[in-house]
Structure 1
Amino acid sequence: MANTAQARKRARQAVQQNLHNSSQRSTLRTAIKAARKAIDAGGDKAAATLVLQKSVSIIDRIADKKIIHKNKAARHKSRLNAALKALAA
């Protein structure tokens, strides 16, 4: 348990920050799933490309906020782009 005023305040802030970060991670997962779903649908490559562009933007934004590591963001983007490229072939 927090014994000082500073520690109590940090505990309060940690709760709020955790809620915010959890929300951001949820947004990230939703964007990745949307891109994966658009690619797996396989029909329209142009539509999948648009969804992928929006997802990459979200991934980059969340990586910039350091909610996920930049290498993890790069890995997700690379795998999604590879899947889209495989769809074209």
Structure 2
Amino acid sequence: MEGLVQFLPIIVMFVAMWFILIRPAQKRQKATATMQNSLKRGDKVVTVGGLHGEVDAIEDTTVYLIVDGNTRLKFERQAIGRVESV
């Protein structure tokens, strides 16, 4: 019983760290994956590198963006950082 009482603060610290650090990161990761999977043609997006463009076509793991009117670039789906709201 005394051994458990000695380890209780450490266990509480690990649980607290999970709620403070790991759980929010998992939520953000899930939200990002949902956003990337719900992309559709015509969406205005920003890549993780800061490039702004409009989704032209979507394949399994790639997204084609139209940039600067007539430039078409190919990106991995994971490279899309956010969808711009109009």
Of the two structures, which has the highest relative contact order with CA contacts closer than 8 Å and spacing of 6 or more? Answer: 1
Higher normalized helix content (fraction of residues)? 1
TM norm structure 1: 0.45
Higher normalized strand content (fraction of residues)? 2
TM norm structure 2: 0.47
Query: Which of the pair has more CA radius of gyration?
Result: 2
